[in-house]
């Protein structure tokens, strides 16, 4: 049986400008950050800009928000090479655990593969860590990646909206949440004194 591996992914996407954007616009992956974990250790890190296919020119909004220059994506890897890399790190079984913060990374990857007529490259269990975080802490709303780090009293890794830094930060939060889960599982069961207010019982017997 192959060893289970964790794949942390973060993608940055192209953005429409607004009312002047084409009606058929769809977000494309323009930067990829991937962290592969085996036996609790970082096995591989991957970072690259990705050249958009359908809408090659970035909007001003996109460049300003992500601090990505047009020449960055012009010199980026073709999308099919990113898909090939994901196929390469995929072990071909359901033993992968693919972890993202939010569900947009998977949705955009699937759509981009469909648009490019490429087969989807990953297999395994998908985990939206933002939803796990929400359920674990009982939050009403989903929390942003770097806000979640701050709530833990920690610092994010590198720069926000830098794909590899966000993937590493997601891995960082994953370890913190898993540690808290283990702590709760190992906690001692409550005693009868924890469950019952004994002072009220003593008063009744007095």
Dihedral sign from CA coordinates of 10, 60, 155, 128: negative
> Would residue 12 show up in a list of annotated catalytic residues for this protein?
yes
Given the residues 12, 28, 31, 172, select the one marked as catalytic: 12
> Would residue 80 show up in a list of annotated catalytic residues for this protein?
no
Half-sphere exposure of 187 toward its Cβ, with a 13 Å CA cutoff?
A: 10
**In sequence order, what are the residues at sequence separation of 6 or more whose Cβ sits closer than 8 angstroms to the Cβ of residue 168?**
8, 33, 35, 45, 157, 158
Given the residues 132, 150, 161, 178, select the one marked as catalytic: 161
What CA–CA distances, in Å, run from 105 to 9, 46, 129, 161, 180?
Answer: 8, 16, 12, 13, 26
Q: Which residues are catalytic?
A: 12, 161
């Amino acid at each position: 049986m192959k060893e289970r591996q964790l794949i942390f992914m973060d993608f940055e996407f192209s953005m429409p400008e607004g009312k002047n954007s084409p009606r058929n616009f769809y977000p494309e992956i323009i930067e990829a950050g991937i962290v592969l974990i085996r036996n609790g250790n970082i096995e591989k890190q991957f970072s690259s800009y990705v050249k958009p296919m359908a809408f090659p020119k970035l909007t001003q909004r996109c460049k300003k928000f992500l601090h990505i220059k047009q020449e960055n994506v012009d010199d980026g890897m073709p999308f099919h090479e990113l898909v090939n890399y994901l196929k390469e790190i995929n072990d071909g079984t359901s033993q992968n655990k693919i972890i993202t913060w939010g569900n947009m990374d998977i949705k955009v990857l699937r759509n981009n593969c469909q648009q490019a007529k490429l087969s989807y490259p990953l297999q395994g269990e998908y985990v939206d860590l933002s939803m796990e975080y929400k359920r674990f802490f009982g939050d009403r709303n989903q929390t942003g990646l770097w806000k979640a780090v701050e709530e833990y009293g920690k610092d994010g890794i590198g720069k926000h909206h830098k794909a590899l830094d966000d993937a590493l930060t997601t891995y960082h939060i994953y370890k913190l949440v898993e540690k808290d889960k283990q702590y709760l599982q190992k906690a001692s069961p409550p005693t009868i004194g924890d469950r019952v207010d004994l002072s009220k019982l003593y008063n009744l017997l007095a």
